[in-house]
Amino acid sequence: MMRFHKSLFSIFSLLCFFMAIPSTAGQFDGPPVLDTEGRPLQRDAEYFIKPAITDVAGNLTLITRKGDQCPFYVGQVPLLSQETGFAVSLAPYREGEDTIREGRDLKFVFQVFTICITGTQWKVGEADPKTGRRFVKLGYDNTATGYFRIDKSDLGVYNIGWCPSDVPIKGRPRCGSAGILIEKGVRFLALDGPAFPFEFVRVDPVEELGSILQEK
């Protein structure tokens, strides 16, 4: 009788173990974020981030505030400008993950050299004193404030936000969606306002090299 109970206990334990595997794996997965060609975004590939649906401005780029040379902030190229902005590379927080997934923490890094020594990684910056909205600025940051996320809205477009789920953080984070804050006609990327829709255009290295050679 004792052996029978032990067998039942072993079977029950195994069932619990296998039932737990899908739920544990599922909490770390999510649908892949797709580029404009329907391909999943990949680690270390480069993408231009442009407005989706609306044509009020150009691609995301780096800009300065108040006439200072450094640090740089994330902003938008003016609509009628000939500039194309700068591409970003994306790096998930989870080691071994090469696909960019909805709702997972990842780094955004502009692929450009600057005169600033702070680097070109995105991070949560200071708050605007008038609106309380937090700017997205550039600088090295391996803490939670250096990781963002991409989520799909009910309209089927992508929003960028900050709400750590993979990166350890003390206390409850003040989550926020990334939208546009206009300061003296300049369009800055800032949290804590209406979410702005974006899409991702993959950079073809061959086409990019051809464009550079053509400009020269």
Query: Which has the minimum average pLDDT: 81-85, 142-146, 153-157, 207-211?
Result: 207-211
Q: Which two tokens stand for residue 137?
A: 């600025």
The pLDDT of 119-135, averaged and rounded, is: 95
pLDDT bucket at 54, cuts 50 / 70 / 90: confident
CA atoms of 181 and 145, how far apart (whole Å): 19
Q: Which two tokens stand for residue 156?
A: 């089927």
The alpha carbon of 41 is separated from its chain's Cα centroid by a whole number of angstroms, namely 11
pLDDT bucket at 212, cuts 50 / 70 / 90: very low
Predicted pLDDT at 206: 58
Average pLDDT, rounded, for the chain: 85
- 3-class secondary structure, 17: helix
Predicted pLDDT at 14: 41
User: What is the total residue count of the chain?
Assistant: 216
Has residue 19 got a pLDDT over 60?
Answer: no
Topology, domain 31-215: Trefoil (Acidic Fibroblast Growth Factor, subunit A) (2.80.10)
The pLDDT of 52-61, averaged and rounded, is: 89
Please name the residues in contact with 164: beta carbons below 8 A apart, sequence gap of 6 or more: 105, 144, 147, 173
Please name the residues in contact with 17: beta carbons below 8 A apart, sequence gap of 6 or more: none
